[in-house]
Structure 1
């Protein structure tokens, strides 16, 4: 799971807190925090540099009047720096917090005139997640793992203490996010044993059939990387057995089948499975990308390029990511003598439409 997905998964965390969602008591985002709606809009557009400018201006002009507003603006600032790959600066921003996020100065009860009858931490959860994640971006992987395991303990304690209902659901979602982050870090270093333990624990804790199926599918991917193809087949078969009308779940089943076909180098069958996904949802970029790769393996470069170019025209917001563009440029290099000119045209288009954090070096010009 990449950072963008993690930030999207935060959803409420930039406008609420671990202990009490602020938005319950306010009518609009701007009631919660100074011009929060415009920050949200800029983030959705990927205008990360504009967010840096806006936060800097608010700080310089002392436009933030309540303690929690400073933390919310810090959250956006740290996210923007991280998205722009300015990791050292993001680390410095979080280090500016006095004695960490659990300091009493970041508690509601420390400011009774601002927050009557509120208690607990006002720190947005995304700051806790970034505090754990950022050391790995400055080549300190062990510190990231240590912090994520501490964050997992924190989340589980909160989940145990919370009452049933919405708050409990939020903490369960956060627990899943943290565990998936831990799995990603172990997986990147091929530490498969701990990944299997963590994902199986998540599956056992999950009671919703669809959510269990998604986790079981991830288990299958881990088993494939481990070389346990029979185990992966069994996991994917369990996913297939979940009856659902949701398009995404149906596509998940087809993508799993296609992956097994790809492992067996049966690219024709894989293309068929991916096409079923695209017929249901023409913005399924994983299916589009992998169908194009299968066509490339079948030496049909012309069609593979068409598949990817059509996706960029049809669903640019979904398709415009670095992996997708790298694969398309590789196909250009294989198919065209004048590939530099073609990639330059693509690069110019990307410069006009891509968010600030898009890495244009992926065109390899």
Structure 2
């Protein structure tokens, strides 16, 4: 929930023993962050509603931060019209009302925008979710321009810590744009954006791997092999990855090439190496199960996914794994409806608020 310029913590000036308990919750934003991190999005909405009803938000950045949490919660719950209404309640994001220097008595010696970056991202995302794709894509590209302007400013100011944060945001926004282009098979735009990122950091193993995934999607197997080999050959540069993360990335890249070539036995071997290093590598878990399914070993493929859900539910419980598991149930069992209902009951007990329970198809 970082703003474009970090917001100071807001503290009550009254004696702690006289504070309203809601006031304590309101200004301790870590409570909202804790709820968000565990997927308790309905509780986030309730907390924001109570804070507003009790007029506990006094400073401009308080209102913006709580609005950001609220809009994000609505988005996570797929209540896009309500998220849009939150955003529509704001003025232009670059309005003077949302700048620190407009309130010198509240924020002495502070300048810049207090708008959380998450609000700028949601401002672009929500139109796409509401079927207004062109408006959303236009906003995403404007957000990318905004981020790149910030990067230039930080480079000129030699603010290395802040520069790193904005570079991560650039990659995040580019990946959002690429994702939407991919969903419409606009591969030329995707490759152009990724190569632009790589022109500034040609050795980042994650970016090079993403280029390889795109090449696979457009049928350029040889190009993907070249990209994946580059990741493996430049092993000394892990970028932001740990040694285990890097090695697993290399194995997953190899496995994808094997899967495209329908060599599922070799793919399973690569994924097993990943899982031995890191049992929470759910991409490897999911793809190992798929490879086993393609080998017509439904029993073992089901065991792989069930064991992952039992062992690391907070990591493995996502819609892709559940959809795949339910598909395997349908192929393997006559009484698959009963089995899926049991799975649905378990999911209802442990899943975060934003989990899409319809993925079980019960």
TM-score normalised to structure 2 length: 0.92
**Residue 79 in structure 1 maps to residue 65 in structure 2:** no
Map of 1:263 onto structure 2: 260
Matching residue of 2:19 = none
Aligned residue number for residue 17 of structure 2: none
Task: State the 4+ residue runs in structure 1 displaced beyond 3 angstroms.
Answer: 23-26, 30-33
Please list, as runs of the form range in 1=range in 2, the aligned pairs for 1:10-49 lying within 5 A after superposition. 14=1, 16-18=2-4, 20-22=5-7, 34-49=27-42
Consecutive unaligned residues in structure 2, runs of 5 or more: 12-22, 237-241
* Residue of structure 2 equivalent to 1:4: none
Work out which of the residue numbers 183, 186, 189 in structure 2 matches 1:188.
Answer: 183
Residue pair 2:6, 2:114 contacting (<8 A) in 1 also: no
Cα distance in 1 for partners of 2:170, 2:326 equals 38
Contact 1:22 1:32 in 2 (8 A): no
Return the alpha-carbon distance in structure 2 between the equivalents of residues 115 and 72 of structure 1: 16
1:250-289 correspondence runs (5 A): 250-289=247-286
Residues 1:62 and 2:55 are matched in the alignment? yes
In 2, distance between residues paired with 1:223 and 1:339?
37
CA gap of 1:249–1:32, structure 2 versus 1, over 3 A, is: farther
Query: What is aligned with 1:343?
Result: 340
User: Which of 124, 128, 136 is residue 144 of structure 1 equivalent to?
Assistant: 136
Structure-2 separation of matches of 1:148 and 1:34: 31
> 3-state DSSP class of the match of 1:21?
coil
Q: Output one character per residue of 1:227-281: Cα deviation in whole Å (capped at 9) or x when no partner.
A: 1111011001101112256111111111111111111111000000000000000
- Give the alignment's Cα RMSD to 1 decimal: 1.7
Cα distance in 1, alignment partners of residues 25 and 78 from structure 2: 29
**Corresponding residue of 2:15:** none
Cα 1:124/1:48, change in 2 over 3 Å: same
1:45 CA drift (Å): 1.0
**Alpha carbons 2:35, 2:44 under 8 Å: kept:** yes
Q: Distance in 2 between matches of 1:22 and 1:313?
A: 40
Of the candidates 46, 53, 56, which is equivalent to residue 53 of structure 1? Answer: 46
- Indicate if the aligned counterparts of 1:108 and 1:121 stay in contact, CA closer than 8 A: yes
Normalising by structure 1, report the TM-score: 0.91
Distance, in Å, in 1 between the alignment partners of 2:59 and 2:306 is 48
Q: Counterparts of 1:201-280 in structure 2 under 5 Å? A: 201-206=196-201, 209=203, 212-244=204-236, 246-280=243-277
Aligned to 1:167: 162
C-alpha spacing 1:349/1:25, structure 2 compared with 1 (3 Å): closer
Unaligned runs of 5+ in 1: 1-13
**Partners in 2 of 1:229 and 1:186 — Cα distance?**
20
Task: Please show how residues 317-356 of structure 1 align to structure 2 within 5 Å.
Answer: 317-356=314-353
Partner SS, residue 199 of structure 2: helix
The aligned length equals: 343
- 1:172–1:33: structure 2 CA closer, same or farther, 3 Å change rule? farther
